[in-house]
Structure 1
Amino acid sequence: MPLASILKRTYLKFSKQTDGPFVGFYLYAMKYIVITDVDFLKTVLIRDFDKFHDRGVYHNEKDDPLTNSLATIEGQKWKNLRQKLTPTFTSVKMKSMFSTVLNVGDEMIRVVDEKLSSSSQTLEVTDLVSRFTSDVIGICVFGLECNSLRDPKAEFVQMG
């Protein structure tokens, strides 16, 4: 039985009980905790997030570098990365970035419309989303107008 099914069954069985905000169990000598209370979940994920950084999610930096992200890495490496990223994503900064991301999204809509109106071109969505991400990162992080949505060979994309 997949682990997700076991966790779901455990949650459904114990979520209606009021013995505590979570239930724990062992599965093949591994400890698991299933949080059953929404308020306790908020405490873990928001207020005490820095104490629950080892989540046991697969990551292999060497062979699969895309799995090496803030959501998967553990220990001191996670703490160092979070320390670096936290000042970048304050609520004030996120609010100021929102309109910029919307503008890049509007540009993406215009590019998609143009490509769909010309029947001879195939729309490669993976590449388009990648260029959208590059434009958002370029303008939000570096303040650069990359224009990679219009120019797939833009310098920022090539360097990235």
Structure 2
Amino acid sequence: MRSVHVSRQMSAPRSAVWSVLADFPNIATWNGGVKASHATSEATSGVGAQRHCDLAPVGTLEETIAEWVDGERMVVSIDSATKLPIERGAATFTLGDDTTTIDYEFEPKGFVGRLTAPLLVRQLTKGFGGFLADLDTAAADAAAASS
């Protein structure tokens, strides 16, 4: 297993960050790395909720919420990935008072995945940094709209 750790001090209130993150099927509305997303289960939040994501520029993910602590923590299991050198993984989102953290563990897929794992760690670190920036912007917009 390989791991990535990224944190960001958020300008939006924690409740707004959680609200955006917890809108699980609609990640494509704010995350620039996702072209399209939709629920693949009746549940759209909480443990067991599932979604499909079409990634930019290529690839897809099938994901399930494996852990949910309302307002604090969410663990998303990557059940399958296509056109990506990832066999499976899990992303843990932890919301602190003003900092949000992503801890991502993944298993590289096949020989190419193992060979390119160090490069993939660098790309994922950059990508998750962009994810947190997009999350902060969406949460700040949501907080401003509700006030």
Higher RCO (C-alpha under 8 Å, 6+ residues apart): 2
TM-score by length of 2: 0.24
Give the structure with higher Rg (CA).
1
Q: Which has the higher helix share?
A: 1
TM-score between the two structures when normalised by the length of structure 1: 0.23
